[in-house]
Structure 1
Amino acid sequence: MKGIVDRIEKDVVVIEIEKEIFNFNIDLFPENIKEGDLVEYEEDKFIILEDETKKREKEIRDLFHSLIEKDD
């Protein structure tokens, strides 16, 4: 099961999985979890999919820059 971290609220990590929102206890995640991370549930815990997260961040950044350039 893969998802995107939507937000972190105290001891709860809110994740979007297939356009649905779920809450999970923060203890299931690595300490360095942050909003926007792509995660996968594996062996009773979530792991950060670092390569996929970086790729997604780049795609979003590139899209943002292309929108700004159109306004010039």
Structure 2
Amino acid sequence: MRGIIDRIEGNYYVIEVDNDMLDVEKQLVEQSATAGDVVSWDGSCWKVDAAATKERSQQIKQLMDGLWNDD
């Protein structure tokens, strides 16, 4: 199962999975995780998928660059 960290609220990470928002206790998420990271459930905790996070960031940057392109 994969998701995207939407935000951190108190002792919970809010993770979007298949258009649903899950409130996940902090101890179930890798400590280095931040908002915007792609995470995968490994059966015991949510782990950051660095490659997927980088790819997602690049896609968002391309979309933003396209919005501001004057051509």
TM-score above 0.5? yes
In structure 2, what is the equivalent of residue 51 of structure 1? 51
The 3-state SS of whatever aligns with 2:46 is strand
* Normalised TM-score (structure 1): 0.92
Match of 1:3 in 2: 3
Q: What do the CA deviations read for 1:12-53 (whole angstroms, capped 9, x no partner)? A: 000110001110001111211100100011031111010000
The correspondence of residues 1-72 of structure 1 with structure 2, limited to 5 A, is 1-70=1-70
- Secondary structure at the aligned position of 1:31 is classed as coil
Aligned to 1:43, the other structure's residue is in SS state: coil
Q: State the aligned residue count.
A: 71
Structure 2 length as normaliser, TM-score? 0.93
Identity of aligned residues (%): 30
TM-superposed deviation, 1:65: 0.6
Structure 1: gaps spanning 5 or more residues = none
